[in-house]
Each structure stands twice: as structure tokens, then as C-alpha cells.
Amino acid sequence: MSYTHIFAGNPLDRGDRERRDDELIKRMMRQDNVRILPFHELMPLIRRSARRNPHAELAWLSHEFLDDLPPEAGGPKFLGFDEDRNPHFAVDISVVEDPSQIAALAPGATFEDGRSAAADIPGDQTGILAQARSNLNWHSRHRYCSACGTESQSQRGGHMRQCPNCDAQHFPRTDPVAIMLVYRGDRCVMGQTVARSTTTFYSCLAGFMDQGESIEDGVRREVREESGLEVGKVTYHSSQPWPFPASLMIGCHAEAITEDIVVDDGEMSDVRWFTRDEVKLALEDRLEGVNIPGPIAIAHHLIKAWANGTANI
Ligand SMILES: [Zn+2]
């Protein structure tokens, strides 16, 4: 079974050949069939309708509003082409103090938090939202060359920044995170991080991959650090882009070869074993005192696949 998670399955052709042609990018920005998605402080413009289903969608604009943007806005970043070859761009308008005039160009649209909007827009649009949000965030955080400190310039429609002083090329980053459901026999492990405000939220263990580490290495290290458990077999399940700001969640199942949990209390407030029956109740929101992630998160699907016996283990 293959999964297409929220934020995965972006249908756009990212146009690698076309984006290397600066003149073409500039021309496409002004075409009648261009679709431009503005973001204000990383919030996408979303149009909601009481009558449609799904009841929200990305609110694409034509190019006229670009003329009124101050140059500090940084210009649109090319996302790619849809199946009709309409070029799509995203633009960061955070420098505009009052974004409501731009929002008004799409009747009924407002700038919304990307995470909650993603639950209400069509699945293929969540992939575009992930690409756009991660890319605009990277440009806003990487304006200066990390080698010499000179202000760098966006190239290839936003796929790269180049330093005009030392010629260093900088590429948008994606940060891999290993997320795994640890199991042994008929039990699995879930934990809660100290950062969570509710004491009932349990989820898979997870952590950023380190440099010079395979996915399997990262899974085994994170599980050891957070729970004290040793892991043998690691199997891949599926992955999910998570654009807050630019993670790639790599979902795995990990078979524990030990049973005694030692909680790292700097990072986790609790880690414990759950039976399959408890997990099935939790998936139906019927396990008292325990809440687990909903379907927007890959953790939900890792838990569910193990509970239902459909995991590749
Ligand atoms: Zn430089």
C-alpha cells in the first residue's frame, strides 16, 4: 500500500529546465495564465466557501499586484507548471504592512495559518503549500552568504541563491527527521515530549537525523536516547514533507530487542509500552487519558498500520 500524506503528492512539474532561463521566468511572471500565491508572514492566502467541498482552496492571484510590491519583497519564486502548463509562483509579501488589500483581490480570502488550512484544502494543494512555504521561509532566513556575509541573490526561480562576491551557491535545505513506531510482539512504544502542553498526548518517538548517519542508524540512536531501548530490525513505511519550516518526516517501524524503558527526562516527560488493544482504542479516541495524532500526521499512519497488522514488518 502506498501512502500520499498531507503535504505529499505535489502535482506541479517543477520545470528544472525552464527555471534556469531567467528571461523566461520573468516573462512567465507577467503572463495572463500565471497563478501567484501570496504569503504574509508564511501564512498562505486561502479562500473559503460554505458551499463547496472541500470548503477551502489556495487563492491564486494574477500578476497585477506585483507592481505595487516594494522591491524588498524579493520577487516571486517559481513553483512549477500544472498539467495545462500554467506557471505557478509564490511570493512573500511580509514587507507589506496591511496585507488585507492584497487579500481582497480574491473575494472571501484571508491569510491563514498553513497547518490548519492544510486540513481543509484538496490533498494535491497541500503539496504545493508545503513546497511554497518551505521555499519562502528558506529565502527569508538565508538572505546573506554563509561563507562571506554578502547579500546573495535568488537564482533559478528560487531554487538557489548565489553570492555576487564569492560566487558561493546555496541551495534550499530540507531537514530529515526519523519518526518511528517501536514495537515488540503485541506491544508498541509511544511517548510525550516535555515541550507538549497537554499531558495526554502520546506519539511516535522522533528526532532529527544527524550528519553521517543512515536512516537505520538514526532510528536506533533516537530510540536509545529517548527510551533506553535497543532496536534491531528497521523497516521503512512512508515519508511526509512537513513545511514547519522544512522537514522531511521519514516514517519507520522499529523492532525493539530489549524491554526496559529508561526515559530521557530532558526531552521526554513519559515513554511507555501500550498493548495493541489500547492502541486500537486510542485510534478511535476511546482510550482514557491518551490522545494520539490525527490523520494529518504521519505518526497516525505508522501507529494505525502496526495496530491493523498492515505494517511492512
Ligand atoms: Zn559569499
Instruction: From first to last of the 313 residues of the chain, give the pLDDT tens digit.
Output: 467 899 999 999 999 999 999 999 999 999 999 999 999 999 999 999 877 667 899 999 999 999 999 888 789 999 999 999 999 999 999 999 999 999 999 999 999 999 999 999 999 999 999 999 999 999 999 999 999 999 999 999 999 999 999 999 999 999 999 999 999 999 999 999 887 666 789 999 999 999 999 999 999 999 999 999 999 999 999 999 999 999 999 999 999 999 999 998 888 999 999 999 999 999 999 999 999 999 999 999 999 999 999 998 9
pTM here is 0.94
Residue 300 Cα to ligand 1 middle (Å): 43
Element (H, E) at 274: strand 268-275
Residue 146 Cα to ligand 1 middle (Å): 7
Residue 140 Cα to ligand 1 middle (Å): 17
Residue 40 Cα to ligand 1 middle (Å): 28
pLDDT tens per residue across span 231-285: 999 999 999 999 999 999 999 999 999 999 999 888 899 999 999 999 999 999 9
Residue 291 Cα to ligand 1 middle (Å): 48
* Domains, the chain: 18-140 (3.90.79), 142-172 (no CATH), 175-307 (3.90.79.10)
Residue 208 Cα to ligand 1 middle (Å): 28
